[in-house]
């Protein structure tokens, strides 16, 4: 844990994503950074692995260009399943998953920023998504019933939590037996310099809160998960380098696909 306090981190993250929801700042590249001025959310999401068909299938304003991958593409969601998105933002991944679960399934998005929840609900109404709902809450304290979810997805959000073991314990609680995680997030490949590790903006920009692969595996195992796989994506360095220009941040973090199952 860095020298930053948990409350400092949460307040900074909440304020940053409030500004994005209210469009007081540009979303930028992947996880938002002030220096990212030129790519549109569509261009950014194309780099993250979303297809043109996916990008055109969601309500305007739901894709904010945030994230570091495409979790719904790796989740193998089936019709009728209940899917939970941790840190659902404007609802982008929720709307894509809603097509996969169909009318008999359900998608729940949880976000701790009231402005994001309002934005996502407005987007759902605009697009007529009747099988999607958005709930205000912290991912460390999910407003979701025990053993009620088949699949949990998340796109570059868990790194933002100052209490990652609690996030995965909560995810375990709400998953049904046999339920699964399908997460895109960043992982640490080398120790961060202190000036980045203790920078609040770098934390809310999805950099200084990253965990190592070994640390994540240990947390997942201790939380009770099995069939754990963490697959780093070296090609993600091409867009991660733009998150903090001049700092060679791509030498320290990469995007990864994280999967696990609740026995």
Q: Which two tokens stand for residue 133?
A: 């709902």
Residue 36, pLDDT score: 46
Task: Give the C-alpha distances (Å, rounded to integers) separating 152 from 44, 136, 149, 212, 233.
Answer: 23, 16, 7, 21, 20
- The position carrying tokens 């995680």 is 181
Residue 260, pLDDT score: 98
Residue-wise DSSP of 92-161: HHHHHHHHHH-TT-EEEEEES-HHHHHHHHHHHHHHT-TTEEEEE--TTS-SS-TT-EEEEEEES-GGG-
- The position carrying tokens 């001049």 is 246
Is the Cβ–Cβ distance between 184 and 71 less than 8 Å?
yes
Q: Could you tell me if residue 241 is left (phi over 0), alpha (psi between -120 and 50 degrees) or otherwise beta? A: alpha
Residue 57, pLDDT score: 79
Q: Alpha-carbon distance 150 to 78, whole Å?
A: 9
Determine the 3-state secondary structure of 196 from DSSP.
helix
Residue 31, pLDDT score: 58
Residue 24, pLDDT score: 55
Q: What is the pLDDT along the chain (263 residues), one digit of tens a residue?
A: 445 688 889 999 999 999 988 885 554 444 544 444 457 787 788 888 787 788 777 888 898 888 899 999 999 999 999 999 999 999 999 999 999 999 999 999 999 999 999 999 999 999 999 999 999 999 999 999 999 999 999 999 999 999 999 999 999 999 999 999 999 999 999 999 999 998 888 999 999 999 999 999 999 999 999 999 999 999 999 999 989 988 999 999 999 999 999 99
Supply the pTM of this predicted model.
Answer: 0.92
Which one, of 92, 99, 88, 86, lies nearest residue 131 by Cα?
Answer: 99
Q: By CB neighbour count within 10 A (0-12 exposed, 13-18 middle, 19+ buried), where does 86 fall? A: buried
Q: Which two tokens stand for residue 257?
A: 């696909």
Which one, of 71, 104, 76, 105, lies nearest residue 88 by Cα?
Answer: 71
Give the H or E element holding residue 256. Answer: strand 253-261
Residue 149, pLDDT score: 98
210-234: burial string, b at 16+ Cβ within 10 Å, e else: bbebeebbebbeebebeebebebbe
């Amino acid at each position: 844990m860095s020298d930053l306090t948990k409350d400092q981190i949460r307040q900074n993250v909440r304020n940053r994503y409030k500004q994005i929801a209210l469009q007081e700042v540009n979303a930028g590249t992947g996880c938002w950074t002030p220096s990212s001025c030129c790519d549109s959310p569509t261009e950014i999401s194309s780099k993250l692995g979303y297809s043109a068909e996916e990008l055109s299938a969601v309500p305007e304003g739901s894709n904010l260009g945030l994230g570091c991958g495409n979790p719904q593409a790796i989740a193998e969601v089936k019709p009728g399943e209940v899917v939970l998105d941790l840190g659902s933002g404007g609802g982008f991944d929720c709307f894509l998953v809603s097509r996969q679960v169909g009318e008999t399934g359900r998608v729940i998005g949880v976000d701790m920023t009231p402005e994001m929840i309002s934005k996502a609900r407005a987007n759902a109404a605009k697009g007529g998504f009747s099988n999607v709902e958005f709930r205000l809450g912290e991912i460390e304290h999910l407003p979701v019933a025990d053993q009620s979810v088949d699949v949990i997805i998340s796109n570059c959000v868990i790194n933002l939590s100052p209490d990652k073991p609690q996030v995965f314990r909560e995810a375990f609680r709400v998953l049904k037996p046999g339920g699964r995680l399908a997460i895109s997030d960043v992982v640490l490949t080398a120790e961060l310099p202190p000036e980045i590790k203790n920078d609040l903006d770098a934390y809310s920009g999805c950099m200084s809160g990253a965990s190592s692969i070994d640390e994540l595996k240990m947390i997942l195992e201790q939380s009770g998960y099995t069939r754990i796989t963490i697959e780093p994506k070296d090609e993600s360095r091409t867009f991660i380098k733009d998150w903090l220009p001049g700092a060679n941040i791509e030498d320290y973090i990469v995007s990864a696909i994280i999967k696990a199952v609740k026995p």
